[in-house]
Amino acid sequence: MTAIAPLHFADPREAAGLAAFLRRLLHYDRAAAVRLQAGGGALAVFGRPPSFEVIAIRTARLVDAADLDVTVSAGELLEGVEETAGKAILPGSVTGPPWAGVLPPRAGWQPVTGLPPVAEIRGAVAAAVTEFRTRDEALPEERRTRAERERLGREIWSRTLAGTGLPLRAAHAAQSLGFLPALPGEELPVALFAAGPWLRLRTPYGSVALRTVPMSLSVTPGAAR
């Protein structure tokens, strides 16, 4: 593949954060692709871990105002990240999956009230994981099927968090992708926003976004930050 010009991060830690994000995406999908959008000295990386049905967003500051919009292999991008040098050698583009053309809107986000503190969010996720495991283990042998487990998972993870409308699966995704780390002695700032049918859970380490209304993927591509 023909390589694109490398990206230079404003801080080497930005490269390390991107690498960690890509590793987590690849844990859920070894063939994952990511869409990259850059402009004005900032980079947004979008991925979609299939287990959670959300779009995950990791941002980073760049040294220059590179203008970029491309979809690449997450695995090949990870290979090109040079954490010590604070840069990423971009691989050639790939045909994007359908979700890459249906990104959250760039603007119009409004705060949603009622989001509990991050400790309560983590607690809700932990309780849901425990409930799933307990109920799964209690299934009789004749009902221990993939379909039954998927039904059980949908029931539990579609519940909303503290009446905000945010499904628990979105909070689970944020935690699994490293966006809700436990920081000793520090309360991690988190916020919830809405824009039309979209919800977005934002933390200093990244965001997860999802549509609350199903939509066909054959629509005009969007852009997000």
Cβ contact 120:54 at 8 Å? no
146-204 per-position pLDDT tens digit: 899 999 999 999 999 988 999 999 999 999 999 998 877 778 899 999 999 999 999 99
Question: DSSP class of residue 102?
Answer: S
42-79 per-position pLDDT tens digit: 999 999 999 899 999 999 999 987 789 999 999 999 99
Q: Strand (E) positions, 100-166?
A: 110-111
Cβ contact 70:188 at 8 Å? no
Q: Where are the domains of the chain?
A: 4-101, 113-188
- C-alpha to C-alpha distance for 217 and 126, rounded to whole angstroms: 32
In the sheet with 81-82, reading across from the earlier edge strand, the strands are 4-8, 87-90, 81-82
pTM recorded for the entire structure: 0.89
Q: Pick from 178, 208, 182: which is nearest to 193 by CA?
A: 208
Measured over the CA atoms of residue 171, residue 166, residue 199 and residue 101, the dihedral's sign is positive
The class level of CATH for 4-101 reads alpha beta
Joined tokens for residue 83 = 């954490």
